[in-house]
């Protein structure tokens, strides 16, 4: 099959690689209809030295073309949303809602390719009713594999309540989906921290009532001015850098929670401030399967359109350009079509 491969820092290629096969009786093989580049893919793209190569990409939707002997809930021909983290749905952690810590955890490793293997088909895959959807729905369905569910997880982890004031740190696809989640959950005021005008505009369309363009101490001052010196009732940290985490805690009101979903890089927690103000931290890798049925229903009903975070669509063969566009911030998120 054709697949996107990583060979080293900023060395992305599209090459012929072996097709994935059924390795476990719980497996399924999905023919990818649409995949995409995630912001988290940029970390290895920028820094990773590899020996040889590896496939890359963890977000995909498509048609089931093969299933293992123990698969009962998923059938060949189903059009499915593929959570980036695969879970059996039956272990103690899954039953507690933490599917991303499943004892049989697997990951999509070739979402930017023609085919992808899913290691826990019955516990992971969610079929779209009626089979292959209207192509116009593909972008929104694709966000449910990761970024929309991750933004939702940030809001849930932060303990967001209807009528509250919420701040979202980060204006990438996850941050924008966090804005959408906060609005859908009934936040009265949603403050998006963003310096980029096109992203500010989409944040407002997703429900942001205010935009703070400053960074660092200036952002903290602006947020506190907006909230009468109180701070945000809930903060969604959707970046993962040390600066973003510091800002998140600085703008959180005493007794609130920071919901963090940005992959951490160089983060040191302000433990003394957390202790003094009783500001908590919750979140982590999103248990996508936990949220997927609800989010799918919202997308199919037309009450949520997270697919608008895709501002560029390219054929799979142009995956290197997709990475460059996101790395250079010429695109928020790029969809790839095999």
Please tell me the pTM assigned to this model. Answer: 0.97
Contact 180, 298 (CB under 8 A): no
Q: What is the DSSP string of 296-321?
A: HHHHHHTS--GGGG--EEEEGGGHHH
Query: What CA–CA distance (Å, rounded) separates 116 from 23?
Result: 12
Taking each helix axis from N to C terminus, what angle separates 242-251 and 216-226, rounded to the nearest 10 degrees? 30
Per-residue confidence (pLDDT) for residue 52, from 0 to 100: 84
Per-residue confidence (pLDDT) for residue 48, from 0 to 100: 80
Per-residue confidence (pLDDT) for residue 55, from 0 to 100: 97
Residues sharing a CB contact under 8 Å with residue 143, sequence separation 6 or more, in sequence order: 173, 177, 306, 307, 309, 310
Structural domains of the chain, ranges and CATH numbers in brackets: 2-146+287-337 (3.90.180.10), 148-283 (3.40.50.720)
Residue 146 phi/psi, 5° resolution? -160, -75
* pLDDT per 10-residue tile (average), the chain, 338 residues: 96 97 98 97 88 93 98 98 98 98 98 98 97 96 98 98 98 98 98 96 98 95 96 97 96 98 93 97 98 98 98 98 97 97
Per-residue confidence (pLDDT) for residue 50, from 0 to 100: 74
DSSP single-letter state for residue 255: E
* The two structure tokens encoding residue 323: 């990475």
Q: Quick: pLDDT tens for 200-238.
A: 999 999 999 999 999 999 999 999 999 999 999 999 999
Query: What CA–CA distance (Å, rounded) separates 155 from 282?
Result: 10
β-partners of residue 213 are none
> 95-100 long-range CB contacts below 8 Å, 24 or more apart?
97/287, 97/290, 98/287, 98/290, 99/123, 99/287, 99/288, 99/289, 99/290, 100/284, 100/285, 100/286, 100/287, 100/288
Query: What CA–CA distance (Å, rounded) separates 81 from 61?
Result: 5
């Amino acid at each position: 099959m054709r697949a996107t491969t990583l060979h080293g820092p900023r060395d992305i290629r599209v090459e012929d690689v072996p097709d994935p096969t059924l390795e476990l009786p719980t497996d399924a093989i999905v023919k990818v209809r649409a995949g995409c580049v995630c912001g988290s893919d940029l970390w290895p793209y920028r820094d990773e030295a590899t020996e040889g190569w590896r496939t890359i990409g963890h977000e995909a939707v498509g048609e089931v073309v093969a299933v293992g002997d123990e698969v009962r809930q998923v059938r060949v021909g189903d059009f499915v949303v593929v959570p980036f983290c695969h879970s059996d749905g039956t272990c103690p952690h899954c039953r507690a809602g933490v599917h991303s810590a499943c004892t049989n955890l697997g990951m999509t490793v070739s979402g930017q390719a023609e085919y992808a293997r899913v290691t826990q088909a019955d516990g992971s895959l969610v079929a779209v009713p009626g089979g292959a959807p209207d192509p116009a729905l593909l972008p929104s369905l694709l966000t449910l594999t990761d970024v929309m569910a991750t933004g939702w997880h940030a809001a849930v982890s932060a303990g967001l309540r209807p009528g509250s004031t919420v701040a979202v740190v980060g204006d990438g696809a996850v941050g924008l989906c966090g804005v959408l989640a906060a609005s859908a959950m009934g936040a009265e005021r949603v403050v998006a921290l963003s310096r980029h005008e096109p992203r500010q505009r989409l944040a407002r369309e997703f429900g942001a009532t205010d935009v703070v363009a400053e960074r660092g101490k200036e952002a903290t001052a602006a947020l506190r001015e907006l909230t009468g010196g109180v701070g945000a009732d809930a903060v969604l940290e959707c970046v993962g850098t040390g600066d973003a985490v510091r800002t998140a805690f600085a703008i959180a009101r005493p007794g609130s929670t920071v919901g963090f979903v940005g992959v951490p890089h160089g983060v040191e927690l302000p433990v003394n401030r957390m202790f003094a103000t009783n500001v908590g931290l919750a979140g982590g890798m999103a248990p996508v399967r936990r949220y997927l049925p609800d989010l799918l229903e919202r997308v199919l009903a037309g009450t949520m359109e997270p697919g608008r975070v895709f501002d560029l669509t390219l054929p799979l063969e142009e995956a290197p350009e997709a990475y460059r566009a996101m790395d250079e911030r010429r695109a928020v998120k790029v969809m790839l079509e095999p």
